[in-house]
Amino acid sequence: MSGIVIVGAGQAGASMAARLRSLGYDGALTLIGAEAAPPYQRPPLSKGYLLGETSLERLYLRAPSFWAEQDVDLKLGKAATAILPGEKTLMVGDERLVYDQLALTTGSVPRRLPAAIGGALKGVYTVRTLQDVDDMAAEFQPGRRLLVIGGGYIGLEAAAVGAKLGLRVTLVEMADRILQRVAAAETSDYFRALHQSHGVDIREGTGLSKLTGDGRVDGAILSDGSSLATDFVIVGVGIAPDTALAEAAGLSIENGIRTDAFGRSSDPSIWAAGDCASFPHQGGRIRLESVGNAIDQAEIVAANMLGAETPYAARPWFWSDQYDVKLQIAGLNAGYDRIVTRRGDDGAVSFWYYRGATLLALDAMNDARSYMVGKRLIETGKSPDPAIIADSTADLKPLLRP
């Protein structure tokens, strides 16, 4: 029985399947997930779930009964193994699934440390799946020593959980500063001070030479020649788009599965959305790793699979929770040449990224009001006078008026 088949039961895949049904698609609909768990949220894994504050049931994107009620054939614990484009067939092990249209929402995979430097030792973890977090949960005991490799958001969130649970945490970042790839120095300074105030030992400009241990990790030798003992390690050195299935099928790859503005791959019967997809954006091509993009893009692609022909216009937004700080990010800061700082009450602060007179993005820490205004300004293409932004007494809401 042909119909629509979606490979990848994460945020994008689940959003796409639900949207197809809400748009009135009543044909065969199959959603394939390599994990045994029904579709769930990933962001809380490195935050509330790891802390023990969020239950498994609260992670689920939909009640497990939803999929049967919507007549979605949910195949869990099964990995797609090959696409045969000429036959419009997907292989799931020995099972052959014929499709009219195929959507790839395969997400991303964490970058791992090479086995040659200890990456395969027991006690070395990544944070990407429910199983990853369940596997490491017993390691979080007060007084134990945690080494975090990588000063991006995943690494910092893991460090925050460790510190809150009473572990002795060291974080090493090879770049000159944490968050260097994604944020301004002002944001890096803010989070460095935050973590240091909670006892985290942050070592910037310091790489990992190798992990040590006989079967299980027990220490690390760093690029500056120093060594330290550790009980376990969390690796947060980024993720890569999961394109293996698409690449083997001969689809065009360009920092992800290359799609047009509608979400079509180089094969007109195959679509892609979410972390795994790269798409046209403002004269260039980007790939976004965020929940917002996964949902929005998947829903647009669902409509396009049914003939809407609506180009996807990304409205990037992201967030991170660390200790009692909520970071909210709007826009993309590439090409900024100026940072404008706005300070609010109770320690709220936001950093606004400008290129010349154009507002590109902002990072807001415990400053939801500034974030909401800034996000709207960016989405509507408005760039306020930086002097107004810097004036903490100025009311920003009038900036939204037509």
Structural domains in the chain plus CATH codes: 4-109+239-305 (3.50.50.60), 112-235 (3.50.50.60), 324-400 (3.30.390.30)
What's the mean pLDDT in 234-257? 97
The dihedrals phi and psi of 91, each to the nearest 5 degrees, come to -95, 130
How much is the pLDDT for 1? 62
pTM: 0.95
Rounded to whole angstroms, what are the CA distances from 26 to 3, 23, 69, 362?
10, 9, 12, 42
Give the pLDDT confidence of 251-286 residue by residue, as tens digits: 999 999 999 999 999 999 999 999 999 999 999 999
Q: Which two tokens stand for residue 299?
A: 């829903």
* pLDDT, tens digit (0-9, with 9 covering 90-100), for 92-129: 999 999 999 999 999 999 999 999 999 999 999 999 99
What's the rounded Cα separation, in Å, for the pair 192 and 173?
Answer: 12
Specify the amino acid at residue 228. Answer: L
Q: By the 8 A CB rule, do 189 and 339 touch? A: no
What's the gap between Cα 46 and its chain centre?
11
What pLDDT is recorded for position 47?
86
Q: Provide the pLDDT for residue 224.
A: 96
The residue count of the chain comes to 402
What does pLDDT average to over the chain? 96
3-state helix, strand, coil in the chain (%, to 5): 30, 30, 40
| C-alpha neighbours within 13 Å on the C-beta side of residue 35 | 16
Is the dihedral angle over the CA atoms 322, 153, 147, 201 positive or is it negative? negative
Neighbour tally for 95: CB within 10 Å = 12
Q: Decide: helix, strand or coil at residue 322.
A: strand
Query: What does 109-157 look like in DSSP terms, one character per residue?
Result: EE----GGGTTTSBTEEE-SSHHHHHHHGGG--TT-EEEEE--SHHHHH
CA dihedral 140, 145, 148, 154 (to 10 degrees): 20
**Do 31 and 313 touch, CB atoms closer than 8 A?**
no
Asked if residue 34 has pLDDT above 90, the reply is yes
Give the chain's radius of gyration (CA, Å): 22
Residue 82, classed as helix, strand or coil, is strand
Instruction: Kindly tell me if the per-residue pLDDT of 164 is higher than 90.
Output: yes
Sign of the CA dihedral running 44, 47, 50, 55: negative
Q: How far apart are CA 153 and CA 194, in angstroms?
A: 13
Mean pLDDT of 144-163: 97
Q: Which two tokens stand for residue 248?
A: 């083997």
- Structure tokens of 124? 């070395």
Contacts 24+ apart (CB under 8 A), 305-311: 305/4, 305/20, 305/101, 305/103, 305/263, 305/271, 306/20, 306/23, 306/24, 306/25, 309/262, 310/262, 311/261, 311/262
At 50 the pLDDT is 87
Three-state secondary structure of 17-65: HHHHHHCCCCCCEEEEECCCCCCECCHHHHCHHHHCCCCHHHHECCCCH
pLDDT digits (tens, 9 = 90+) for 44-85: 998 889 888 999 999 999 999 999 999 999 999 999 999 999
Strands 95-98 and 168-173: unpaired
Provide the percentage of residues in the chain whose pLDDT is more than 90.
97
